[in-house]
Amino acid sequence: MKFVVRFVAMLTVVMGSITMASAEGLKPYVGLGVGVFTLGIDDAAGSNTDEGIGAYLSAGVDVAKYLGAEVRIGTTTNESSFPAVLTEIRADYIISYLGKLQIPFGNGLRLYGLGGGTTAIVYLGLPVSDRVTKTGFSFGGGFDYTFSGQLFSDRYRIGVEAMRYLHNVDLPTLPGPFVNPATMTLDAIVGTLKYEF
C-alpha cells in the first residue's frame, strides 16, 4: 500500500510540474522505453544473470538546455535461467526518480546522463519470501534525436539508453545453491520514444 501511495504522490507532483512548466516555457514530456532488462544475483560463489523484456512509461520536464527531471514506472518479464530454486524472477514494478544532465548538439542530437534512485518490487519465486521491495542507486545515460520534416513532428524524440536501476542491493537469505549473503543488480538497454509538449 505504501508503494502505491508513494507512486501516486510522485505522479501528482510530476503532472503538476508539467502543467506549471508549460506555463513557464519549460519543456515537459512523456515517454516510453522498451528493451532488454538484465537481473543479476551475486554471491560468494559467483554471479548469475538472466535477461528478459521490460518496458517503462515516463513523465518529466527539461529545464533550460542542460537540466531535467523524470519519473518512470515499469515492469519486466519472467527470467528463469537461474538455478532451479528460483523458478521465476522478475521486477513486478519499477519506480525511478531521476535527475538529468544533458548536452544538446546540432541537428537535433542530444546526449544525456541520469542519476537518482529506483524502488522495485522483485518477485523471486521463493516459498518463504516471494516478493521483496528494494531501493537502490540508479545511474546511466543515452542519446536521443529530434525528427523534423513533413512526416514527423519535431515534438517526437527517439533514442537509445543504458541504465543500472539497482546497484548491489542486499537480498533476503536465499536457499542453496546460493552462498549468502547475496546482492542484486538490475540493468537495462532500451529504445526510447518521447513526446514534448
78-104 b/e with 16+ CB inside 10 Å = b?
Answer: ebeebeeebeebbbebbbbbbebebee
Task: Tell me the pLDDT of the chain averaged across its residues.
Answer: 83
Higher pLDDT, 26 or 22: 26
Higher pLDDT, 141 or 5: 141
34-59 pLDDT, tens digit per residue, is 999 998 888 877 787 888 899 999 99
Please name which of 65, 67, 154 lies closest in space to residue 107, comparing C-alpha atoms. Answer: 154
Structural domain span for residue 86: 2-196
Query: Using CB atoms within 10 A of its CB, is residue 121 exposed (0-12), middle (13-18) or buried (19+)?
Result: middle
Compute the distance between CA of residue 189 and CA of residue 161 in angstroms, rounded to an integer.
Answer: 6
DSSP state for residue 79 in the 8-state scheme: B
Compute the distance between CA of residue 94 and CA of residue 72 in angstroms, rounded to an integer.
Answer: 8
**CB of 177 closer than 8 Å to CB of 45:** yes
What radius of gyration do the chain's Cα atoms show? 18
Q: Which residues on adjacent β-strands are paired with residue 172?
A: none
Name the domain count of the chain.
1
Mean pLDDT of 139-160: 86
Q: Quickly state the pLDDT bin for 155 (edges 50, 70, 90).
A: confident
56-99 pLDDT, tens digit per residue, is 999 999 998 899 999 999 999 876 556 555 657 788 899 999 99
Please name which of 161, 166, 164, 159 lies closest in space to residue 141, comparing C-alpha atoms. Answer: 161
Mean pLDDT of 184-195: 95
pTM: 0.82
CATH code of residue 14: 2.40.160.20
